């Protein structure tokens, strides 16, 4: 029993997109731009050439925020979306009726329709692949060349992520919505 | 009257011959051909959906709810509206409105059945829904409450209609009141489906759960004018005129309240200045469907009522047809405007062009299934008028 979360040192991201490829490969995510569990967002730099604000053009890797109070879980009419034993938000394809309510309720655009099962799919922190095999990292973390991502147990005070969150300032996306995300962006 | 199975009174002459033996006026023939065409479209649309799944629809990751959700809402709002109008007489005892009760309750049944027929092809796994709605109910989900309560509501409406047909007004009243309460709960939960979306600031809050009840009543009155207009071929006797004048006056009040509701919603949205709310409304009021909603569903019928305080029932029938077109846009706008603002997860360059607003237009399949739902509704209603005596019993 753990409480998994992820810290992202997003300013290290170089937009190589190796994490996206690793995620698709490891978890058998469908091909196609619409079918993605994780993504690297990017801002165009502010300002007019040549006075561009380079710092504003940071890359922002993201995915399901694994909210503690997930709106997608609350709105699911059949409990297809649930918290597993490690507080990871998962989808039970057997119960999913594809009403798409969770897609509308998720503030993070983290869900999509898997056309093979015609059910909702999303990031699982590699729970049914790498973690099930006993590994301790997610595919996106494992492949990242600049070590943007740190995955681990938030309840373990000795974990690397706990250490990072103790020692570095961080923020969460759309925290004002009260979703209590377990993805933390390090500043 | 002959007594059919389960002690249901059915008209003596009810047969296939009576169904197809309508008076062959140009309008009737046009309507019959239109309904047939809509039913054929329903068949084509459903076949396309069963072949290609949601790819046959215009929905996307960013805009997962499309026309069929709007049409489902359109039908269930109609059903609740019919139920409210039907209850005026047989539940609340307003004698003036008793003559429409049976017809309205039958209308509430056919409209909700049509809504279910449409939503069955939008929900990806309707059979799974029936199973897991019971086995693992999601009690925090407004969709669960809405679906479950509407199922119960349909049951109560059918039982009420049965007692109305058998002139058992006491039992009809009990089931009518229960059905009305369950229907109102179901309907406000449908508003809650949108109201609970804190990711969609434009819809989040208490507005829709209450507004849905108000607009259901308005829709019910429009539909009552339409069905009574067809029943009496616009030649209303004094008793019907009295009924329709009463309904028109109530409608005037309801539309005035709706103007008040909408004005304050828009004013607080725009001048409240909240991100994802103010900008969405600014966008919304510059689109044609918004003005179609305001002009057709509210303004034109309101002016017709104001003209002589509801004393022109024939004109009101036409205003009600226009009103229902507006009500359709009302539902479409609700669904579309909820999703029109991108969620701003910085998916800018690779996944989507920098969209200021999310685009959606229904596919041919969605349009065919939607029109098919309308065809199904009209066909069921027509068969009902042939099978049952929907006029007031004496």
Q: What is the pLDDT of residue B24?
A: 86
- Segments in chain B forming alpha helices (H): 16-20, 26-52, 67-90, 98-119, 126-135, 142-165, 169-195, 207-231, 238-272, 278-284, 288-292, 300-308, 313-339, 364-387
What is the CATH topology of the domain spanning A4-186? Alpha-Beta Plaits (3.30.70)
Are B78 and B221 spatial neighbours (Cβ–Cβ below 8 Å)? Answer: no
Q: What is the pLDDT of residue B310?
A: 86
Q: Is B393 among the domain residues?
A: no
Q: And the tokens for A24?
A: 């698709």
What are the strands, taking DSSP E only, across chain B?
2-3, 9-10
Chain A residues in contact with B358 by the CB 8 A cut-off are: none
* Partner-chain residue, chosen from A44, A71, A97, that has the shortest CB–CB distance to B199: A71
Burial tier of A61 (Cβ tally within 10 Å: 0-12, 13-18, 19+):
buried
Q: What is the pLDDT of residue B364?
A: 97
Burial B48-62 (b: 16+ CB within 10 A, else e): bbeeeebebbbbbbb
Q: And the tokens for B106?
A: 């039958």
Is B134 in the A-facing interface, judged by CB distances under 8 Å? no
Q: And the tokens for B244?
A: 């329709």
Which tens digit of pLDDT belongs to each residue from B284-305? Answer: 999 999 999 999 999 999 999 9
Residue A39 has pLDDT above 70, yes or no: yes
Which tens digit of pLDDT belongs to each residue from B182-236? Answer: 999 999 999 999 999 999 999 999 999 999 999 999 999 999 999 999 999 999 9
User: CA of B38, closest CA in chain A: separation in Å?
Assistant: 25
Residue B4 has pLDDT above 90, yes or no: no
Is B141 within 8 Å of A76 when comparing Cβ atoms? yes
Q: How far apart are CA B208 and CA B189, in angstroms?
A: 9
Q: Is B394 among the domain residues?
A: no
Q: Is B392 among the domain residues?
A: no
Chain A residues in contact with B354 by the CB 8 A cut-off are: 44
Q: How many structural domains is chain B composed of? A: 1
pLDDT confidence bin for A34, thresholds 50/70/90? confident
Domain spans, chain A: 4-186
| Residue-range definition of the domain harbouring residue B68 | 2-387
* Partner-chain residue, chosen from A60, A75, A97, that has the shortest CB–CB distance to B124: A97
Percentage of the residues of chain A whose pLDDT score is greater than 70 = 100
**3-class state of residue B333 by DSSP:** helix
Q: Is B17 among the domain residues?
A: yes
Residue B393 has pLDDT above 90, yes or no: no
Q: Is B317 among the domain residues?
A: yes
Q: And the tokens for A187?
A: 């500043």
**3-class state of residue A183 by DSSP:** strand
- CATH code for the domain in which residue B43 is found: 1.20.1630.10
pTM passes above 0.90: yes
Is A18 in the B-facing interface, judged by CB distances under 8 Å? no
pLDDT confidence bin for A25, thresholds 50/70/90? very high
Are B211 and B279 spatial neighbours (Cβ–Cβ below 8 Å)? Answer: no
Residue B124 has pLDDT above 60, yes or no: yes
* Partner-chain residue, chosen from A100, A107, A178, that has the shortest CB–CB distance to B343: A107
Question: For tokens 């929900």, what's the residue?
Answer: B123
Q: And the tokens for B233?
A: 């071929």
Is B137 within 8 Å of A60 when comparing Cβ atoms? no
List the 161-200 stretch of B: residues with Cβ below 8 A of A.
193, 196-200
The residues that bridge with A51 in the sheet, in sequence order, are A48
Chain B residues in contact with A64 by the CB 8 A cut-off are: none
Q: And the tokens for B101?
A: 């009760």
Which tens digit of pLDDT belongs to each residue from B333-378? Answer: 999 999 999 887 766 555 555 567 888 999 999 999 999 999 999 9
Q: What is the pLDDT of residue A78?
A: 96
Q: Is B266 among the domain residues?
A: yes
Residue B383 has pLDDT above 90, yes or no: yes
Is B133 within 8 Å of A78 when comparing Cβ atoms? yes
pLDDT confidence bin for B394, thresholds 50/70/90? low
Is A74 within 8 Å of B196 when comparing Cβ atoms? yes
Residue A166 has pLDDT above 80, yes or no: yes
């Amino acid at each position: 029993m753990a409480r998994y979360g992820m810290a992202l040192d997003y300013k290290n991201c170089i937009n190589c997109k190796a994490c996206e490829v690793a995620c698709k490969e490891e978890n058998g995510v469908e091909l196609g731009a619409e079918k993605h569990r994780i993504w690297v967002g990017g801002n165009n730099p502010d300002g007019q050439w040549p006075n561009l604000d380079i710092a504003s053009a940071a890359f922002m890797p993201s995915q399901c925020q694994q909210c503690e109070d997930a709106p997608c879980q609350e709105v699911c009419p059949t409990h297809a979306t649930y918290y597993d034993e490690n507080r990871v938000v998962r989808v039970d394809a057997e119960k999913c009726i594809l009403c798409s309510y969770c897609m509308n309720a998720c503030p993070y655009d983290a869900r999509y329709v898997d056309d093979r099962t015609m059910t909702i799919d999303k990031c699982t922190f590699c729970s049914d692949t790498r973690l099930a095999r006993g590994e301790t990292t997610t595919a996106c973390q494992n492949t990242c060349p600049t070590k943007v991502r740190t995955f681990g147990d938030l309840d373990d005070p000795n974990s690397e992520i706990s250490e990072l969150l103790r020692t570095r300032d961080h923020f969460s996306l759309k925290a004002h919505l009260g979703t209590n995300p377990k993805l933390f962006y390090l500043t | 009257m002959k007594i059919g199975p389960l002690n249901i009174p059915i008209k003596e002459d009810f047969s296939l011959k009576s169904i197809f033996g309508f008076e062959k006026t140009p309008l009737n023939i046009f309507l019959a051909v239109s309904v047939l065409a809509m039913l054929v479209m329903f068949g084509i649309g459903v076949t396309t959906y069963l072949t290609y799944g949601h790819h046959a629809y215009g929905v996307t990751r960013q805009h997962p709810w499309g026309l069929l959700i709007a049409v489902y809402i359109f039908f269930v709002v109609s059903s609740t509206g019919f139920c409210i109008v039907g209850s005026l007489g047989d539940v609340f005892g307003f004698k003036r409105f008793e003559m429409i009760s049976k017809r309205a309750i039958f209308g509430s049944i056919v409209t909700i059945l049509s809504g279910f027929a449409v939503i069955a092809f939008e929900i990806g796994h309707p059979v799974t829904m029936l199973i897991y709605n019971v086995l693992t109910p999601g009690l925090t989900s407004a969709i669960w409450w809405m679906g479950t309560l509407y199922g119960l509501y349909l049951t109560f409406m059918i039982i009420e209609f049965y007692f109305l047909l058998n002139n058992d007004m006491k039992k009809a009243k009990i089931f009518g009141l229960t059905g009305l309460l369950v229907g109102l709960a179901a309907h406000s939960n449908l508003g809650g489906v949108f109201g609970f979306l804190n990711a969609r600031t434009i819809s989040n809050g208490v507005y829709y759960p209450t507004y849905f009840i108000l607009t259901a009543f308005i829709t019910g009155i429009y539909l009552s004018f339409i069905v009574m207009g067809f029943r009496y071929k616009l030649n209303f006797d004094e008793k019907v005129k009295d009924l329709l004048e009463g309904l028109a006056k109530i409608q005037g009040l309801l539309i005035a309240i709706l103007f008040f509701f909408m004005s304050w919603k828009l004013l607080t949205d725009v001048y409240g200045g909240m991100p994802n709310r103010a900008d969405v409304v600014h966008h919304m009021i510059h689109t044609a469907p918004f003005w179609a909603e305001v002009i057709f569903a509210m303004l034109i019928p309101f002016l017709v009522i104001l003209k002589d305080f509801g004393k022109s029932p024939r004109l009101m029938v036409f205003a009600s047809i226009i009103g229902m077109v507006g009500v359709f846009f009302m539902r479409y706008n609700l669904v579309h405007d909820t999703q029109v603002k991108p969620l701003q997860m910085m998916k800018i360059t690779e996944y989507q062009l920098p969209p200021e607003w999310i685009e959606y237009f229904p596919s041919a399949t969605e349009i065919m299934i939607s029109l098919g739902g309308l065809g199904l509704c009209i066909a069921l209603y027509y068969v009902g008028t042939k099978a049952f005596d929907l006029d007031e019993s004496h």
